[in-house]
Each structure stands twice: as C-alpha cells, then as structure tokens.
Structure 1
Amino acid sequence: MKKISRKVLFEEVADALAHMIYSSELSPGEWIDELKLCKQMDISRTPLREALKVLASDGLVELVPRKGAFVKTISLQDLDEIFPIMAMLEGYCAQLSAEKATREDLHCLQELHSNLEHHAASADIPHYYEVNTQFHDALKRIARNGWLEQITLDLSRVVHLARHQQLIVKGRLNESIAEHRRIIEAIEAGDADQARQVMHVHLMNQYRALKESITKELQHGLDK
C-alpha cells in the first residue's frame, strides 16, 4: 500500500496565510511582514517564503523584488478579464451537474441551498458567502470533469479575494438567493441548458455588483 504523505510545513503555512487573506486579516495591497508572521507561527523564514511562492502562483500574493510580498489587489481590469471566463466555465459546470447529479449529489446541494436560504433570511453575509463557496465547489465536483474543476478552482482563488463585496450592494443578497433557487431547480429537474444559462446570468450579475462595489470604494477613497 502506498504511504499517505503528510502535508509539509510550507503547505500548512500557505493554507494559514490563505485563510488570513480570505478573512481580510491580511488586506488587499497590504505588505506582508515576514518577521512578524514568523514569530506568530513560530517558524523560520524558509517555510514562510516557500509558502509565499505557492500563494504567488495561486494569484493571492504578489512578490516584488527588494520590497517583499504584498496581498494581491483585484483591479477592475482583472474583473473584466476573469468574470466572462468564470461565467462560461461555471455555466458548463452547472450543465454537467444537471446531467450527472446522483441522488446523493442532489441531497448535498439541497442541504447547502437550505443553509443559503437560512443565512439570506438573516442577512448574514459572511456565513452566506462561506456556504455559497461550498455550493459552487460542490457543483464543480459533481460535474466530474477534473480539468474543468481545476481550472475553475484556480480562477475562484483569485476572484475570492473580492467576490464577497458584491453581496453588500443594496438588493444583491436577495437577487443572489433568487438566482441560486433557479440554479438548484434546474439541476433538480435535470434541465442542463437551463442550469447553464441561469449560472451564467448569476456570475455576470455577481460581476456587475462587484464592479459597482469596487468603483464606489475607489471613489470614496478619492473623495477623502
């Protein structure tokens, strides 16, 4: 039997840093204080720097010569380039999910959707977004296409830096849960074409709301 290899230290550090970035403990554009993190994590700089290389390859960190590492900032141009691709690929994930979902898969999606409804009803954006990520990741798995899953996950890591901001736009949370209802209904009905279309609309609506949120934030900064 092949031995199961344990996760090496720099991978654990990379996971910890990614969580800090996604939870906004490390903010977009922030310089990463390596000495401070080494003390916090009780590690040397070698595994930290290896971890930063991993995060740089995932698009979460930018390594600047002679200046160090910075948390990646998502620009409006990034959104313009990434979201149409995301909408197309995640639409295909939804299409394949509608074609391939088993009874167990549908039960998993229904539970996640029930949690989304609960968090939407209480306007709990942080937990809504967390379950939303789980829902989209589940669709990627149910599509049962390894290449598609890997590509969409790679893009999601980058967009994840700012994606939750779209939910703070007025009315967007209610729109989002309504879109999720249509997605789950299409998948339960086995309507692959409808699933693809509603997912594409869902992603492009995310894009427009996120762009609105970031534009307002930039304008607010200029007005100060």
Structure 2
Amino acid sequence: MAGHVNSLHEQVAQGLRDLIFAGDLSPGAFVDETRLCEQLAISRTPLREALKVLTAEGLIRHEPRRGCFVNEVTEQDLDEIFPVIALLEGRCAHEAALHAGDADILALEALHRQLQDSAAQGRIPDYYAANFAIHEAVIAIAGNKWLAQVIGDLRKILKLARLQQLNAPGRLAQSLAEHMAIFAALKARDAQGAEVAMRTHLTRQREALRQLARHHKSRIAPVSTEHDKLGVTT
C-alpha cells in the first residue's frame, strides 16, 4: 500500500511539473487542491506530498492560510540565478573536457547533429529537447555529483525561461553556434575553452530573455488542466 502511495505522489508531482513547464499552470496560478483531487480521484495525501516535492524544487510556493501557488521567476531571480548556473555548468564543461572518452564524443556528436537538424527546420521544441540532452550529457561526463545536484535544482527553476529564450529574434541560430563552439572545445579536450564557451552560452541565454521581454510584455495565458494532461493512473 505504501508503495502505491509513493508511486502515485511521484506521478502527480511529474504531472504538475509538465503542466508548469508547458505553461498550462502559469506563474502565480493558484493550485486548487480540491479541484485536482476531484479530477484525479485521489485523496489529498498524495497531492500534498507531490506539492511538498515541488515546493522543495522551487516550482511551487506555500503561503500560510492561502494555499499553494506556482512560483514566479522574477527578473531579479533571473539576474541572480543565471550567473550562478553559468559558473557551475562552465565548470562541468571544464571537467567533461578532461574526462570525455571517444564514445562520449561520438554520442555528443550525434546529439549535435539532431540539434543542427532541428535548428535548420525551425523546430524549437525538438531543438530544446536535443539542447537539454546535450547539457545533461556534459554534466554526466563531468561526473561531479555535487555539481549535478545543484545544477539540477537550478535547471528546474529556469526550464521554462530557457525554452522561451529560443523565441527571441535570431536566438536559435546564435544558440546553435554557441553549442558548436562548446562541442569543438570538448572534442579538442580543451578544458578552458569548453568552460568559457559554456559560460558564454548561458550568459547569452539571459541576454536573449531581456531581448524577448522588450518585444513581448505579456505572460503565457493559463489554460485548463484536464485529468489526462497530468498522465496520472490510479
């Protein structure tokens, strides 16, 4: 029975993450526990356990006597987080260049081909998926569990912003060029070059978000949260 509850709250947590990352639960949105419990035919226990997980990840905030809300990432948050994650992912790139084997480079090369194909066809969701996989691969190759843990926490907070920045004018081509520079340094086992290239890439993501904010002043509009979108089984 306990295993079923644990599995259920993990499913609910992932479903809520997906809704947040897709913009279906918009920043600042109230998390209606009663409605979700009715939709999912679950008790409040697995839902509240899921909300605790997302609160720890920084995706949800709990306000006493008010309930849970989707966290809003402010411009100040972005200004504070991006330099930190640039430093950390830069260090990962440095360590990955030192530790990468031939098989690692071949795997990264295949991912970069996917990246190039997606960019050529303007498929931003596919580009983002390949982009995400590349960052994950670099972190894995670096093999530093502490860096991986801290970066993982920050990436959850920044995921929606990092997807949105690809919509800035000219950003897709710029991002691809940055990634190819990172890959070239990794392939050459140039640790310092890989670190600088990765930090530049993350810094320019923040610049792209500023550019996007100047062009688009509105947030993503919330949409309904149907039961099947959560992908929860009971």
TM-score by length of 2: 0.87
Cα distance in 1 for partners of 2:126, 2:219 equals 27
Indicate the residue corresponding to 2:225 in structure 1. none
Indicate the residue corresponding to 1:33 in structure 2. 32
Tell me the C-alpha RMSD between the 2 structures.
2.1
Indicate the residue corresponding to 2:178 in structure 1. 179
1:133 positional shift = 1.2
Indicate the residue corresponding to 1:207 in structure 2. 206
Cα distance in 2 for partners of 1:125, 1:151 equals 26
Aligned partner of 1:139: which letter? V
**Farther-moved stretch of structure 1 (19-28 vs 91-100):** 19-28
Cα distance in 2 for partners of 1:156, 1:169 equals 20
1:136-175 pair list within 5 angstroms: 136-175=135-174
Cα distance in 1 for partners of 2:37, 2:115 equals 37
Contact 1:74/1:161 (8 A) holds in 2: no
Cα distance in 1 for partners of 2:131, 2:70 equals 23
**Farther-moved stretch of structure 1 (22-31 vs 85-94):** 22-31
TM-score by length of 1: 0.91
Cα distance in 1 for partners of 2:175, 2:124 equals 11
1:108 positional shift = 1.8
Q: 1:9 to 1:174 in 2, by over 3 A?
A: same
SS at 1:18's partner residue?
A: helix
Contact 1:79/1:211 (8 A) holds in 2: no
Contact 1:11/1:51 (8 A) holds in 2: yes
Contact 2:22/2:160 (8 A) holds in 1: no
SS at 1:148's partner residue?
A: helix
Cα distance in 2 for partners of 1:53, 1:140 equals 26
1:1-224 pair list within 5 angstroms: 8-218=7-217
Deviation digits for residues 158-209 of structure 1 (CA, Å, limit 9, x no counterpart): 1113211111110011000000011111101111110000111000000111
1:144 positional shift = 0.4
SS at 1:85's partner residue?
A: helix
Aligned partner of 1:107: which letter? L
Q: 1:6 to 1:41 in 2, by over 3 A?
A: closer
1:67 positional shift = 1.8
Q: 1:212 to 1:183 in 2, by over 3 A?
A: same
- How many residues were matched structurally? 218
Aligned partner of 1:17: which letter? L
Q: 1:195 to 1:90 in 2, by over 3 A?
A: same
Aligned partner of 2:96: which letter? S
**Farther-moved stretch of structure 1 (19-28 vs 177-186):** 19-28
Percent of residue pairs bearing the same amino acid type: 45
